Amino acid sequence: MAEIEIAAGFIPLTDSAILVAARECGFAEDEGIALTLLRETSWANIRDRMAIGQFEAAHMLAPMPIAFELGLTPLSLEVVAPMAMGLGGNAVTVGTGLFEQMKELAPFVSPDPQGSGLALRAVIAARKAEGAPPLQFGVVHPHSGHNFELRYWLAASGIDPETDVDIVIVPPPFMPDALASGQIDGFCVGEPWNSVAVSQGAGRIATVKSAIWKSSPEKVLGVRADWVRNNPHGLSKLLRALYRSAQWCGDPANHAALAHILARPEYVGQPASLIARGLDGQVVEGLSVADKAWFFEPFARAATFPWQSHALWFYSQMVRWGQIEHTPANADKARRCYRPDLYRAALRSLSVPIPAANAKVEGALTDNEPVGATAGALRLGPDGFFDGRIFDPDRLDAYLSEDAD
Amino acid sequence: MSGRLPSVLVIDDNSVRAAIIEAGLREAGHDRVTVITEIAGIAGKIAALEPDVIVIDLENPNRDMLENMFQLSRAVKRPIAMFVDRSDRDSIEQAIEAGVSAYVVDGLRRERVKPILDMAISRFNAYSRLERELEDARSALQSRKVIDQAKGLLMRSRGMSEEDAYALLRKTAMNQNRKISEVAQGLVLAADMLGKGGSDG
């Protein structure tokens, strides 16, 4: 079989799992792909190395391809997202002292987003009364699910992310130290960095992404558009390999093995026991069985499907926080970065259930429900936001005007 | 002051490499060059300096933070683009391969910035070359030591001459398609484990 060489960049995070397992467990090899994985120190590096052709594909923050397409980055490139790399997996961790203060002012049970949000609001009000400086929260990138879910949670809790707190950018592996040393008061990051901070005694988890927005998108596979145009079969092979890999990663029976692979120094380089917490959803005590399963999902509930409604929600938040001006043309650019057509074309031969629609109304499913699929049975959801809002991608303007009020 | 050369800020936690770049820029007549090796408090420093060009090591994990800062234009009052010109693919490639990136304030003409970027690229490459040579020299020295040890072992345990001992190592290496130093290393390790590694034989 002709070998296809693919180089992919990644950042040391648990949700790089499906790329790592595709290489380590032979799913890439089965498709005739020689997959090289290169660990990077910044999302900017991933972008730059991709721009000059060193990477064909990469582990990317879900809003990144949209930011490229909208010209928001200092270096331009064209990237498509033909696959997602899982749902959930992030948490909001606050310093131990701040956590205690929140509990004191307004008792809540972690990771309840409503309770923890109100408690944080109470602390912020108290600090204002004392004339204390605003709390600082770290996120990994301005164009990241972390930035947008943190802001969503804060705003829905009555905290203005622009004026009531300072949001700063910190690289994921530096978050625990930045929290421990008091440079920041809290952060929103992917695993294992929340569990690392908790295990060091530096912080406690206030809430989790999967509670702020259930079944919410986090990373995508970004692929260079010129490579996709010239290698349609190569892309299909890569997507099939990653689909198989996601299936393997999603099976709880494989979590221990996966945690050991990810723990290796060339991947995440943190103890397997800490990585396993994120895979098993054991990041906070007191999560229900269902909540545990929802914390991070690499496969089930169409976790690898690139929903265009996800792309449009990220776009809506870019507009909301002033990163881009809303025009129908911009919204269209954002939507078109996500390529369910490429996903379906690649996976057709596997006869697996694939959503029949390209977009869905986010927040419409309150339970795990059967939906229309190309083959077999597929269950999605729940996919609700904690404040009960609904995002209908066909009513984007109405959604945007709710925030503008 | 249109004749004045642009001011340059070099951000690099490798202070030796930063010094090499700074020296190069000063030799080329740049009198406004600042080097920052410590990332703490960098926003304030950039705001105070208002540099025209920022040169930063590609592996610096704080690039996302810095780019965000440039974008918000709080620290840097003018918009910033990466490299000289988005269309200048060649310099972008050379820079990334050398491990350096550069941010330039809007409105600076290409020919005023290009020499700075070229200087940074060549000095980054020179530094990497130096590092590689040093590493090579280190490992060459290491292999020579190991080969000498292995020769000594053979001379003592089998009563060989130094010449014969070396010939045997070389022949074994050729037969096994390995480096002489690897065969020698194996022999020294084995001798160590069998307790024959002592210098008294």
- Cα distance between residue A45 and residue B63, in whole Å: 8
What is the CA angle A242-A245-A246, rounded to 5?
85
Instruction: Say if B14 is an interface residue toward chain A (CB within 8 Å).
Output: no
Pair B121, B86 in one domain: yes
Choose one of B105, B132, B159: the last residue of a domain: B132
Identify whether B2 is part of a domain: no
pTM (predicted TM-score): 0.88
pLDDT tens track of chain A, all 405 residues?
A: 558 999 999 999 999 999 999 999 999 999 999 999 999 999 999 999 999 899 999 999 999 999 999 988 888 789 999 999 999 999 999 999 999 999 999 999 999 999 999 999 999 999 999 999 999 999 999 999 999 999 999 999 999 999 999 999 999 999 999 999 999 999 999 999 999 999 999 999 999 999 999 999 999 999 999 999 999 999 999 999 999 999 999 999 999 999 999 999 999 999 999 999 999 999 987 777 677 778 999 999 999 999 999 999 999 999 999 999 999 999 999 999 999 999 999 999 999 999 999 999 999 998 888 888 877 889 998 999 999 999 999 999 999 999 876
- Cα distance between residue B193 and residue B154, in whole Å: 16
Pair B128, B142 in one domain: no
Pair B115, B170 in one domain: no
Backbone phi, psi, residue A200, to 5°: -85, -5
**Which superfamily does A90-212 belong to?**
Periplasmic binding protein-like II (3.40.190.10)
Look at residue A245 and give its three-state secondary structure: helix
Pair B13, B72 in one domain: yes
CATH number at residue B145: 1.10.10.10
CATH number at residue B105: 3.40.190
Contact A21, A248 (CB under 8 A): yes
Please state the ipTM of this predicted complex: 0.90
Q: Which residues of B touch A173 (CB under 8 A)?
A: 61
- Chain B segment 171-190 residues within 8 A of A by beta carbon are none
Pair B153, B119 in one domain: no
Pair B41, B96 in one domain: yes
Identify whether B145 is part of a domain: yes
- Cα distance between residue A194 and residue A283, in whole Å: 8
Pair B76, B163 in one domain: no
Pair B146, B75 in one domain: no
| Number of structural domains in chain B | 2
The residue count for chain B:
201
Nearest one of A217, A385, A211, A209 to A310, comparing CA atoms: A217
Nearest one of B192, B195, B90 to B149, comparing CA atoms: B192
Pair B118, B160 in one domain: no
Choose one of B94, B114, B132: the last residue of a domain: B132
> Mean pLDDT score of chain B, rounded to an integer?
83
Chosen from A13, A42, A323, A324 to mutate, greatest number of chain B CBs within 10 A: A42
**Which superfamily does A4-88+217-350 belong to?**
Periplasmic binding protein-like II (3.40.190.10)
Extents of the domains making up chain A: 4-88+217-350, 90-212, 369-404
Chosen from B59, B65, B92 to mutate, greatest number of chain A CBs within 10 A: B65
Q: Which residues of B touch A142 (CB under 8 A)?
A: 68, 71
Residues 6+ apart with CB under 8 A from B58: A45, A48, B96, B99, B100, B101
Q: What is chain B's alpha carbon radius of gyration, rounded to the nearest angstrom?
A: 26
Choose one of B132, B150, B185: the last residue of a domain: B132
Pair B143, B45 in one domain: no
Domain boundaries, position B189: 138-193
Quote the pLDDT of residue A296. Answer: 95
Instruction: Say if B83 is an interface residue toward chain A (CB within 8 Å).
Output: yes
How many Å lie between the alpha carbon of A292 and the closest alpha carbon of chain B? 31
Identify whether B30 is part of a domain: yes
Q: Residue A355 gets which letter from DSSP?
A: B
Pair B116, B66 in one domain: yes
In 10 A of CB A107, how many CB atoms? 9
Identify whether B198 is part of a domain: no
Contact A73, A47 (CB under 8 A): yes
Instruction: Say if B67 is an interface residue toward chain A (CB within 8 Å).
Output: yes
Identify whether B177 is part of a domain: yes
Question: Letter for the amino acid at B163?
Answer: E
Six-digit token string for A142: 């301005």
